[in-house]
């Protein structure tokens, strides 16, 4: 093997380089498959929904650029800063975002990228995800004759919600609110140091200490937190609503966390101390409201804090996600809504076969599926339950059960694409990120099918 030593001592310099984009580039094929006009029609109602109602004022948004960035972010699970840097150096990504077709083409700042994405509602993200599967159907890659369904948990962007840590956070936020110097809170103080001392004593209590000793420390922490924060909460409740609305977004959010969420937290902890029963309405986070504790019996992960989403796998290995209506999304009553979402994609009367695990075993689900025209219903049943249907033979049921297991790795890929734990801070953007994660998975599947079709 010979060796070329050229270029080892040379210096690089700025220059114009002509880059040729191949016709076989997967993103180029995806660009021409996407109906950008239809995408813009879905996004426009949210973009026009501004506080003043005068959406035409201010700097113009290059819609084609931002829609391209939205699709790329979903497909590659990129951050705002990451995709901004990638666009500065990747010619193919620039072409995908309309480099050749948009007048005054430019790369938006990462703050503008975040602002555009946050203005789109969760319902719009869900509709865009449905549109992606429709493109796959029109291209012949996705078929809707059968569907396997399952649920998954998207964890919220919060730390593990222990009462002790939440009380310490509440005291710190109360102090931060007082440091803003609001006239309505003048004369108040919150000594976080005293709360921190009690919290440290509770956190570092030795394992050999008795449960009664730790309980006394916990009650002391609650008492100290109440003494420091409750006067602030009471004063906040006296502030007129018009004054609160006039505050900045950050100050208003901090005000809401201390005044309303903080008060509910202290009341819930007090109820637990007195009754030893957990209050179901007690907040699990100071900033996130749409969070529940979910126990799916997973080994090594007994509790998850977030919300449940229902998903279905169709032929072609694409995922359909139902629009969430509840935080827990019970499996025993959700099959019908998922089939309704399937109808929005493929139309009525197409779905003939549905598979699910034993969590969906209920007469309500079976009745709903039969009412929607599903002929083969292969829902696994607990061994002690009588079969809900007898039309399908045992051997055929086993084949359906094995097929249903194929949805598990697809959900795992969607989780790796952003569904595992949200990076978003608000309830609205967290829900939207779940739909965007499934959309990103479907986009990767669609690109893979396009590549395979070109090779064939």
CATH number of the domain enclosing 314: 3.30.420.10
Out of 231-235, 367-371, 426-430, 452-456, pick the least confident: 452-456
Q: Do 379 and 316 share a structural domain?
A: yes
Q: How many residues does the chain have?
A: 456
Mean pLDDT of the region 414-443:
94
* CA pair distance 148, 362, nearest whole angstrom: 16
Whether 186 is in a domain gets the answer yes
Check pLDDT > 60 for residue 386: no
Task: Clarify whether residues 193 and 95 are in a common domain.
Answer: no
Tell me, yes or no, whether 450 and 313 share the same domain.
Answer: yes
Query: Which pLDDT score is estimated for 390?
Result: 45
Q: Are residues 260 and 324 in the same domain?
A: no
Q: Is 321 helix (H, G, I), strand (E, B) or coil?
A: strand
Residue 282 lies in a domain: no
Query: Is residue 411 included in any domain, yes or no?
Result: yes
Q: What is the pLDDT of residue 231?
A: 93
Residue among 368, 353, 400 at smallest CA distance from 381: 400
Is residue 417 assigned to a domain?
yes
Separation of alpha carbons 342 and 410, rounded Å: 17
Average pLDDT over residues 1-14: 86
Same domain, yes or no: 203 and 54: no
pLDDT the model gives residue 385: 58
* 18 within domain boundaries: no
User: Which residue range(s) make up the domain with 437?
Assistant: 122-158+291-455
pTM of the complete model: 0.91
| Bridge pairing between strands 318-321 and 353-356 | unpaired
Q: Are residues 231 and 126 in the same domain?
A: no
Rama region for 349: left / alpha / beta (φ>0; ψ in -120 to 50; rest): left
Q: 197 and 49, same structural domain?
A: no
> Looking at residue 383, what is its pLDDT?
64
The rounded distance, in Å, linking the Cα atoms of 161 and 286 is 10
Per-residue pLDDT, averaged over 437-449, amounts to 95
Q: Is 293 helix (H, G, I), strand (E, B) or coil?
A: strand
Whether 77 maps to a domain, the answer reads yes
- Comparing 132-136, 214-218, 243-247, the range with the smallest average pLDDT is 243-247
Query: What's the mean per-residue pLDDT of the chain?
Result: 90
d(CA 30, CA 447): 7
Q: How many Å apart are CA 173 and CA 321, to the nearest integer? A: 37
Helix (H) or strand (E) holding 12: none
Give the pLDDT confidence score for residue 51 in this predicted structure: 82
Q: Shortest CA distance to 271 belongs to which of 230, 237, 224, 222?
A: 222
Domain boundary among 275, 306, 334: 275
Q: Comparing 126-130, 290-294, 378-382, which segment has the lowest mean pLDDT?
A: 378-382
Measured CA to CA in angstroms, residue 65 lies from 129, 153, 447 at distances of 18, 32, 20
Asked whether 244 and 252 are in contact (CB, 8 A), the reply is yes
355, containing H or E segment: strand 353-356
Examine the domain organization and report whether 321 and 417 are in the same domain. yes
Q: Are 275 and 262 in contact (CB under 8 A)?
A: no
What DSSP character marks residue 421? Answer: B
Q: Is residue 361 domain-shared with residue 445, that is, in the same domain?
A: yes
Residue closest to 357 by CA, chosen among 382, 393, 387: 382
Element (H, E) at 332: none
Q: Are residues 444 and 347 in the same domain?
A: yes
Compute the half-sphere exposure of residue 312: CA atoms within 13 Å on the CB side of its CA: 32
Asked whether residue 7 is assigned to any structural domain, the reply reads no
Exposed (0-12), middle (13-18) or buried (19+): which is 219, by Cβ within 10 Å?
middle
150: phi then psi, degrees, rounded to nearest 5:
-165, 170
What is the rounded distance in angstroms from the CA atom of residue 46 to the CA atom of residue 115?
Answer: 12
> Could you tell me if 132 and 438 are in contact, meaning their C-beta atoms sit under 8 angstroms apart?
no
Spatial neighbors of 442 by CB under 8 A, at least 6 apart, are: 129, 132, 133, 136, 318, 319
Look at residues 322, 314, 317, 423 and name the one whose alpha carbon lies nearest to residue 368.
322
Q: Which residues pair with 153 in a beta bridge?
A: 308
- Of 244, 275, 306, the residue that ends a domain is 275
pLDDT digits (tens, 9 = 90+) for 102-126: 999 999 999 999 999 999 999 999 9
The CA angle 446-448-454, to the nearest 5 degrees, is 105
CA neighbours closer than 13 Å in the CB half-sphere of residue 189: 4
Neighbouring-strand partners of residue 314 = 147, 318
CA distances from 115 to 56, 121, 229, 390 (A): 16, 12, 34, 54
Q: Note the pLDDT of residue 140.
A: 93
Segment 358-383 mean pLDDT: 84
Could you give the 3-state DSSP secondary structure of residue 143?
strand
Whether 369 and 336 have beta carbons less than 8 Å apart is answered as yes
In a domain, 20, yes or no: no
376 and 400 Cβ atoms separated by less than 8 Å: yes
Measured distance CA(326)–CA(309) in Å, rounded: 9
Alpha carbons within 13 A on the beta-carbon side of 207: 0
Instruction: Kindly state whether residues 263 and 383 are assigned to the same domain.
Output: no
- CA torsion sign for 169, 173, 174, 179 is positive
262 and 183 housed in the same domain = yes
423 pLDDT higher than 50: yes
CA dihedral 49, 239, 165, 432 (to 10 degrees): -10
- Total domains, the chain: 3
Give the Cα separation of 223 and 448 in Å (integer).
59
Choosing from 210, 244, 275, the residue where a domain stops is 275
Are the beta carbons of 193 and 228 closer than 8 angstroms?
Answer: no
């Amino acid at each position: 093997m010979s060796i070329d030593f050229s270029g080892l001592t040379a210096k690089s310099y700025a220059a114009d380089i002509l880059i040729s984009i191949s016709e076989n580039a997967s993103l180029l094929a995806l660009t021409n498959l996407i109906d950008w006009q239809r995408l813009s029609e879905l996004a426009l109602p949210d973009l026009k929904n501004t506080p003043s109602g005068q959406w035409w004022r201010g700097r113009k948004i290059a819609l084609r650029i931002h829609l391209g960035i939205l699709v790329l972010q979903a497909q590659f699970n990129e951050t705002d800063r990451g995709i901004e840097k990638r666009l500065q150096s990747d010619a193919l990504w620039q072409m995908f975002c309309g480099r050749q077709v948009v007048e005054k083409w430019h790369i938006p700042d990462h703050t503008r990228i975040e602002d555009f994405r946050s203005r789109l509602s969760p319902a719009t993200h869900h509709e865009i995800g449905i549109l992606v599967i429709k493109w796959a159907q029109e291209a012949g890659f996705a078929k809707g004759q059968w569907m396997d369904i399952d649920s998954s948990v998207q964890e919220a962007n919060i730390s593990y919600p222990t009462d002790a840590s939440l009380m310490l956070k509440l005291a710190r936020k109360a102090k931060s609110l007082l440091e803003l110097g609001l006239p309505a809170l003048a004369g108040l103080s919150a000594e976080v140091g005293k709360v921190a001392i009690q919290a440290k004593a509770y956190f570092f209590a030795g394992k050999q200490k008795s449960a009664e000793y730790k309980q006394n420390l916990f009650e002391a922490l609650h008492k100290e937190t109440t003494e420091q924060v409750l006067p602030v909460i009471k004063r906040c409740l006296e502030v007129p609503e018009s004054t609160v609305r006039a505050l900045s977004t950050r100050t208003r959010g901090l005000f809401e966390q201390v005044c309303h969420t903080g008060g509910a937290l202290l009341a819930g902890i007090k109820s637990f101390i007195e009754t030893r029963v957990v209050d179901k309405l007690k907040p699990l986070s100071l900033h996130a409201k749409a969070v529940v504790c979910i126990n799916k019996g997973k080994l090594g992960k007994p509790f998850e804090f977030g919300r449940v989403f229902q998903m279905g796998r169709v032929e072609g290995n694409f995922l359909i996600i139902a629009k969430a209506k509840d935080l827990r999304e019970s499996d025993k009553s959700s099959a019908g809504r998922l089939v309704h979402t399937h109808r929005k994609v493929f139309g009525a009367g197409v779905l003939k076969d549905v598979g699910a695990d034993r969590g969906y075993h209920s007469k309500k689900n079976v009745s709903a599926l039969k009412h929607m025209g599903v002929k083969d219903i292969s829902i696994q049943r607990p061994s002690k339950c009588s079969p809900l249907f007898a039309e399908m033979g045992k051997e055929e049921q086993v084949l359906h059960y094995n097929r249903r297991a194929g949805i598990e790795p697809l959900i795992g890929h969607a989780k790796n694409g952003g569904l595992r734990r949200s990076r978003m801070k608000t309830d609205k953007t967290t829900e939207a990120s779940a739909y965007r994660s499934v959309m990103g998975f479907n986009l990767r599947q669609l690109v893979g099918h396009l590549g395979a079709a070109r090779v064939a």
